[in-house]
Structure formats: structure tokens, C-alpha cells
Amino acid sequence: MNALRRWITGFALAALVVTAAGCGTKAIDAGQAGGGSKKTIVVGTDAAYAPFEYIDASNTIVGFDIDLMKAIAKAAGFDVQFVNTVWEGIFITLQNGERDALISAITITDERKKTMDFSDPYFEATQLIAVPENADVTKFEDLKAKNLRVGVQTGTTGDVAVSKLLGKTSPNIKRYDTTPHALQALAIGEVDAVVADNAVVLHYIQSNPNAKFKVVSDPSFPKEHYGIAVKKGNKELLDKINQGLKAIKANGQYDEIYQKYFGTKK
């Protein structure tokens, strides 16, 4: 009974947060006003994930994923509208029809493939450990051996990796709603390490040199690939997305966007 009530309350809360996030953020269009006949695809993204998706000074959702999705839409002939969506609950919005697609640096995993469909991979990633500059950590195993408190973003592949190492219910796993919150917790000593996607950790360190973190990589972390998610069975949209992705890879636009955010050629 108690557990049921807690579950219901939790669910209602999650719904509330999603709604609030959806309303509070300026939704942007693909800059294709005037093309009234095109279908508008509503795209969810957890915009606390620079450089892939974040809110800029003018309260607009920007980033690598955003430019990529806009380019794909243009190439495939549809419009996009981005809606900031909290990560916890982001996948539910596909199932209940609140979003048509998700682009959010989402790793394609077998587990997720059970409940949603993914585009062709568009970005390669892996997990990276962030620790204070002076920490005595050289490999993933050390987090367990040294009994360290590890911060992750709830439900990410970083969470999955750390849960496997320490046990899902380990009190040493501290789960945060966003990756920046986990990294801020590291900066104030609330945790001893953070495990998250490589490009996001590196971007945070670059933009926050005062945090004095170093990164530790570990060959045991598998290669990950980001994909754009759609509702299971939405082949029509998935085909369009894949067609657009192929087109912008072929015409150099993908490389341009890559260069804009990562400074190097792919």
C-alpha cells in the first residue's frame, strides 16, 4: 500500500516536472517559417548537456544535436520544434505521444531498443571518469577498491556502468537529475568522482577550469553510439531521419557542424 502510494506520487511528480519543463522553455523552430505545408516534428531534448544541447544566454536551445537535427529536418523535408524535457521521463514522452522524436546524446542500447527505435548512429562516445586533480585514481576499479562516492546522472549509461561496478543499490552511488549537477557536486566535494559521457565531461572541464578536475579513461568502458529515438514502429519518421542524416553526411554539413562544436574534423 505504502509502496503503491509512493509510486503514484512519484509518477505524478514526474509528470509535473515534464510539463513544467515543457512550458518554461522557449521552444524554437527550425527557421523555416513560411513553409506552412511541412509537417512539424516535436523533438524532446534534455538541454543541460553542453555541447550537445543546452540553453544559451538568450534562452534558446542550442548545441551540436540541435544543429544536426535541424539540418536533418531540412534535408528530409520536415520542420522541427524543440522542447526541453527532463531526462528522467524523457523516454515516456515518446510512448505517450508528447514528443515525436528525441535527440539528447542518447546512447543506443539493447535495453532501450526494446521500447523505442533508433536512427543510424550519429556520434561515437564512451564513459570518462572525472576526479579532483590530486585524486589517486587511475582506473575504474579504483572507485570500488577505494570505496569512493560516485556521482552519475540518473538512468544514463554512466549510471548503468557504475551500478554494475558497485551494485545498483550501493550507498556510494549518488544520482543527480543532470550531469552538470553531478559535476558541481564533485566540485564541492559531495562526491569523489563522476562517471559520464566523455565529450560532456571534457566540455565542462574546459568551461570550468577553476574546478580543477582531471579525467581518467578506462579501456573497460564500451564504445557507445548516439542515436535519435522515435516511438517504436514509427518507421515513416525513422526513414526520413535516416535519409536526412545520410544526406548531410554526404554533402559535408555533418562535418561542418562537427567542426563548429569540436573544433576538429571528424
**Which residues of the shown chain bind ligand ARG in the complex (CB under 6 A)?**
46, 49, 53, 87, 104-107, 156-157, 179, 197
Which residue in this structure is represented by grid cell 534562452? 59
Least distance from C-beta 166 to ligand ARG, angstroms?
Answer: 17
Residue number, 172 or 198, with CB nearest to ligand ARG? 198
Distance CA 231, CA 72 (A): 18
Go through 116-136 and write b for each residue having 16 or more CB atoms within 10 A of its CB, e for each that does not. Answer: bbbbeebbebbbbbbbbeebe
**CB-CB contact of 48 with 180 (8 Å):** yes
Residue number, 106 or 173, with CB nearest to ligand ARG? 106
Count of CB atoms situated within 10 Å of the CB of 251:
12
The single-letter code of the amino acid at 243 is: Q
Least distance from C-beta 35 to ligand ARG, angstroms?
Answer: 28
Strands in 10-70 per DSSP E: 28-29, 40-45, 48-49, 53-55, 61-62
The single-letter code of the amino acid at 166 is: L
The single-letter code of the amino acid at 191 is: V
Least distance from C-beta 74 to ligand ARG, angstroms?
Answer: 22
Residue number, 77 or 121, with CB nearest to ligand ARG? 121
CA angle 203–204–209, rounded 5-degree value: 110
Residue number, 179 or 253, with CB nearest to ligand ARG? 179
Residue number, 64 or 254, with CB nearest to ligand ARG? 64
Residue number, 17 or 247, with CB nearest to ligand ARG? 17
Least distance from C-beta 65 to ligand ARG, angstroms?
Answer: 8
Least distance from C-beta 134 to ligand ARG, angstroms?
Answer: 27
Distance CA 136, CA 260 (A): 35
**CB-CB contact of 157 with 127 (8 Å):** yes
Q: Cell numbers at residue 38, please?
A: 511541412
DSSP state of 25: S
Least distance from C-beta 113 to ligand ARG, angstroms?
Answer: 12
**CB-CB contact of 221 with 180 (8 Å):** no
Residue number, 213 or 226, with CB nearest to ligand ARG? 226
Least distance from C-beta 66 to ligand ARG, angstroms?
Answer: 11
